[in-house]
Amino acid sequence: MKHDSVPAMVTPKYHLVTYGCQMNKNDSERIAGLLSGLGFTSTDDEGNADLILLNTCSVRQTAEDRIFGKMKDFIALKAKNPDLIIAVTGCMAGRDKKGEFKERMAPVDLYFPTPEMVKLPRWIAELRPELVNSASLEDDYLKIRPSRVPSAQAFVTIQTGCNKFCTYCVVPYARGLEKNRPAKDILNEVRDLADHGVIEVTLLGQTVNSYRAPDPETFSSRNPYHDHYASLLWEVHEIPGIQKIHWTAPHPNSMTDEVIDALTLQKQVNYLHLPVQAGSNDVLFRMNRKYTREKFLDVIEKVKAKRPGIALGTDIIVGFPGETAEQFEETVSLYRACDFDISYTAQYSPRSGTLGVKLYADDVSREEKRRRWQVLQEVMEETAKRKNQAFVDTVVHVLVDKLENGLASGNTNEMKLCRFAATDPNLVGKIVPVRITQALEWQLNGSMLS
Ligand code: SF4
């Protein structure tokens, strides 16, 4: 039997690679928690691993191509170590309903959508029984305790999946319909993080503000809100030790008055990331975003009225099928009207299985997509530089997350990267005041106040 060939004291090793968004990173922390519960330790060297696991992303074709490109390496690794287990999870496995991707992944032993990670211990035990020291099984993967690198910042998933079916997006297929975690579990996790030194939490969900608690009775009778997401924010805000609250990504239609009001909670960062995707009503309709340009601008106006000076970020797709040059200009004018600090701009790429591919031809040329991206990039750089300039000679508060070569760095309350000279390693994980002396497009430089 295989397990006779492995010395009893050898600790099995896993090599876990994560692609894509923060949700995937948080899922990987759960996978790491699950594997360490089985007695595995992590290795950076895939040649030294008993289990290689890829947590994949499907948002762009390039992300998927990267995974297919790994298969050659895996064939070579398996030739050297036939007992090696190779596993693929995440969005590619989630949306591959017909098994077309799997067919191109010959060396892969385990292939499963994210929620099925709960079965990983059993599958590993079936393939390599000698590697598994216990088989404690959860039926809900969100109940698995994530294994995190110690830090003052942590991501907490409050919801998975999505019901919105934007026509360009694979998420509802890859991750399934929206599922919300019980508020009790979320708050217990945040309390536990605070007890372990975390001071900034980022709540994660595909449309985080559409959160509906399966257990609203968890909310305190003192909670001033009725909207479940605003209520959750208030409860997180009450947890001693937590100093900064951040969340991503909300949907404009779920920016209720109460959620907008919760932006004024004292621990809430002074930043809102609100994806708009396009500025033309025609394009928004074909994207199935279910709001108009006017409605989006109305939300932004309310946000700015409630929290003047808030920094704003967004996501934009350029070159969506049928987007004319004039319609793209509406995106540019909306960008200017909102005065966003930052945009994560993508050039449309058709994703198989989405409604966008079935309904519309990808009729904006690559060059034109690139041109539109460049136009927006220039507007963004000009806006960012102007807005950052306003911080010069002011004092910001920076949560230090890195100290290297005499330079400390971290984010301000507006989620802007700030750097300043420092040598004390104890600053990492602390919030410190910094006077800004220089503003660049993507960075503020300053000096720490004593
Ligand atoms: S809201 Fe739209 S873009 Fe966001 S995850 Fe859901 S379907 Fe995708």
**CA 288 to centroid of ligand 1, rounded, Å:** 10
Q: For residue 256, what are the CA distances in angstroms to 250, 253, 290, 300? A: 11, 8, 15, 12
pLDDT for 46 equals: 94
Shortest-distance atom of ligand 1 to CA 169? 8
Residues 406, 380: Cα–Cα separation, whole Å? 30
pLDDT for 427 equals: 97
pLDDT for 2 equals: 42
pLDDT for 9 equals: 53
pLDDT tens by residue, 202-211 = 999 999 999 9
pLDDT tens by residue, 63-106 = 899 999 999 999 999 999 999 999 999 999 999 988 999 999 99
pLDDT tens by residue, 168-219 = 999 999 999 999 999 999 999 999 999 999 999 999 999 999 999 999 999 9
Mutate to test the pocket of ligand 1, among 91, 157, 167, 169 (most ligand atoms within 8 A of CB): 169
pLDDT for 3 equals: 45
Mutate to test the pocket of ligand 1, among 57, 59, 162, 291 (most ligand atoms within 8 A of CB): 162
Q: For residue 432, what are the CA distances in angstroms to 305, 403, 423, 429? A: 28, 13, 14, 10
Helix (H) or strand (E) holding 125: helix 120-127
pLDDT for 404 equals: 95
| Pocket, ligand 1, Cβ cutoff 6 A | 162, 164-166, 169, 171-172, 206-207, 251
pLDDT for 304 equals: 98
- Closest residue (by CA) to atom 1 of ligand 1? 164
Shortest-distance atom of ligand 1 to CA 172? 7
Q: Burial, 361: exposed, middle or buried (Cβ in 10 Å; 0-12, 13-18, 19+)?
A: exposed
Residues 400, 151: Cα–Cα separation, whole Å? 10
What residues of the chain score a pLDDT lower than 50?
A: 1-7
**CA 402 to centroid of ligand 1, rounded, Å:** 32
**CA 411 to centroid of ligand 1, rounded, Å:** 27
Shortest-distance atom of ligand 1 to CA 288? 2
- Cis link prior to 249 (omega < 30° from 0)? yes
- Closest residue (by CA) to atom 4 of ligand 1? 206
Query: Could you tell me if 149 and 196 are in contact, meaning their C-beta atoms sit under 8 angstroms apart?
Result: no
Opening angle at CA 116, ends 114 and 121, nearest 5: 115
**CA 328 to centroid of ligand 1, rounded, Å:** 21
| Residue in the block written with tokens 């295989």 | 2
If DSSP codes are grouped into helix, strand and coil, which group holds residue 292? coil
Q: What is the DSSP letter of 307?
A: S
Mean pLDDT of all residues belonging to the chain: 94
Q: For residue 32, what are the CA distances in angstroms to 16, 118, 125, 143, 192? A: 8, 12, 17, 13, 18
- Closest residue (by CA) to atom 2 of ligand 1? 166
Tokens of 448: 């720490």
Residues 200, 161: Cα–Cα separation, whole Å? 24
Enumerate residues 6+ apart whose C-beta is below 8 A from 93: 56, 101, 102, 111, 112, 113, 114
Query: Could you tell me if 338 and 312 are in contact, meaning their C-beta atoms sit under 8 angstroms apart?
Result: yes
Query: Could you tell me if 313 and 269 are in contact, meaning their C-beta atoms sit under 8 angstroms apart?
Result: no
**CA 352 to centroid of ligand 1, rounded, Å:** 15
Other beta carbons within 10 Å of 249: 20
Mutate to test the pocket of ligand 1, among 59, 60, 165 (most ligand atoms within 8 A of CB): 165
